[in-house]
Homo-oligomer: A and B are copies of this chain.
Amino acid sequence: MLMLPTLAHHPRIQLVACADPRPEARIRFTADFDAPAYADFGALCDDKQVEAIYLATPHQFHAAQVARAADSGKHLLVEKPLAVTLAEAASMVERARAAGVRLVVGHSHGQDGPVLAARRMIAAGEFGAVRMITALNFTDFLYRPRRPEELDTAQGGGVVFSQGAHQVDVARLLGGGLVRSVRAATGAWDPARPTEGAYTAFLTFENGCVASLTYSGYGRFDSDVFLDWVGEMGMPKDPAHHGTARAALSGLPDAAAEAALKVTRTYGAPGQPPGLPPAAPPAFHNQFGLVIASCDRADLRLTAQGVEIHGDTTRLLRKTPLPAVPRGEVLDELCAAVLDGALPLHDGAWGMATLEVCLAILQSAREGREVALHHQVAPKDD
């Protein structure tokens, strides 16, 4: 539901088929796009009209589906996290390489315009070396409707896999990519939702940069106050809506009812308004909380409009051009890779390295010690 308007309205994308196990989604897709909708993923892979597949299935299905699609010669955009284990991620990278298809990971907030703009400033050395990255995000993630597996860490549930993947991606893009070590703690403070709802992590990079990453999805403090009440999706947000995510859940009798509530928000569900949502030009960028990159000669703070540059004597906002459609940057990256032969920033190796950091956060928290990393890669264009 988040990516469909972006896919439908992006100038270089045509939606020619889909696969979904839910009949109502297939009916709706065919009505909206006059195109085939398959119940079986393999049938989608065998469709000769399909050039690339956007994979937004639950994490645990990614590895097998990427293998199947790659073997059919389809390029892939895979939702983060790329996978739930490093072995799976490595197999996906290898399978795509062997098949000669592009594998891009996203949407990630590492594709937000202000992140990419700050990354370019840092890569160009405009303000000297990057030294310290400070990121925090306090949301209500844990209280949005979930399927049971989304609350089971072993199946990729919890905030480290889903939200850490964003924050780590942003930090790696700004910090040079090569994380050397992770020390972290996680929090699972609500017995009714027994997965990680929070974490804090201390990262060192090969280039000497360090990062402090903090996330809470427990729906109390809301760090969107630091983004002038622009929400994660770049839409103005009403601070008075505090607590609505919990309230929506509180009347539900059990996990089945919660999963059913989630289904009502999916594509094709009864009650969804007909037709495609318009792709109104976004008012602001997507954002992922407070992010400050401290360099030798300036602190760069990401906002929903661009990059605030806090220098020795000046403070200014360098605005970043908005995408034509919300989240369009991820499709720009996919199209450049598939149609123009560009090397994607968020390729499989990059997504695997981000996953390695997320897994290290979980391991460090579990074992109470620092974890060294071995699968890190630098951003492609550095």
Contacts and interface: CB of A to CB of B under 8 A. Distances in A.
A301 B221 contact: yes
A198 B243 contact: no
Contact of A204 (B132, B185, B211, B222): B185
Interface in A71-94: none
Interface string A181-203: 00111010100000000101110
A60 interface: no
A216 interface: yes
Range for the number of chain A residues in contact with chain B: 35 or more
Interface stretch (A115-123, A275-283, A306-314): A306-314
B220 A294 contact: yes
A132 B198 contact: yes
A40 interface: no
A226 interface: yes
Contact of A134 (B131, B136, B219): B136
Given A187-B131, A200-B202, A210-B200, A310 B220 contact: yes
A294 B243 contact: no
Nearest to A226: B226
Nearest to A190: B296
If over half of A's interface residues share one DSSP class (helix, strand or loop), that class is named, otherwise mixed; here it is strand
A136 B315 CA distance: 20
Contacts of A219: 312
B222 A210 contact: no
Interface string A202-236: 10100000111010101111100010000000000
Contact of A220 (B201, B204, B226, B298): B298
Contact of A294 (B134, B218, B313): B218
A198 B131 contact: yes
A226 B312 CA distance: 20
B221 A292 contact: yes
A203 to B, nearest CB: 10
A161 interface: no
Nearest to A246: B312
B313 A242 contact: yes
A204 B185 CA distance: 8
A221 B370 contact: no
A312 B210 CA distance: 33
A369 interface: yes
A137 to B, nearest CB: 11
Given A200-B132, A200-B212, A243 B313 contact: yes
Contact of A299 (B204, B212, B221): B221
Nearest to A129: B189
Given A210-B200, A370-B369, A294 B242 contact: no
Contacts of A211: 200
Contact of A200 (B134, B198, B221, B313): B134
B212 A314 contact: no
Contacts of A246: 312-313
A310 B243 CA distance: 10
28 contacts: A131-B189, A131-B198, A132-B185, A132-B198, A132-B200, A132-B214, A136-B136, A185-B204, A187-B210, A187-B294, A200-B202, A200-B211, A200-B212, A202-B202, A216-B294, A216-B299, A219-B312, A220-B299, A220-B311, A221-B292, A221-B294, A222-B310, A226-B226, A242-B314, A242-B315, A243-B314, A246-B312, A246-B313
Given A132-B198, A200-B202, 5 more contacts: A132-B185, A134-B136, A138-B299, A185-B210, A201-B202
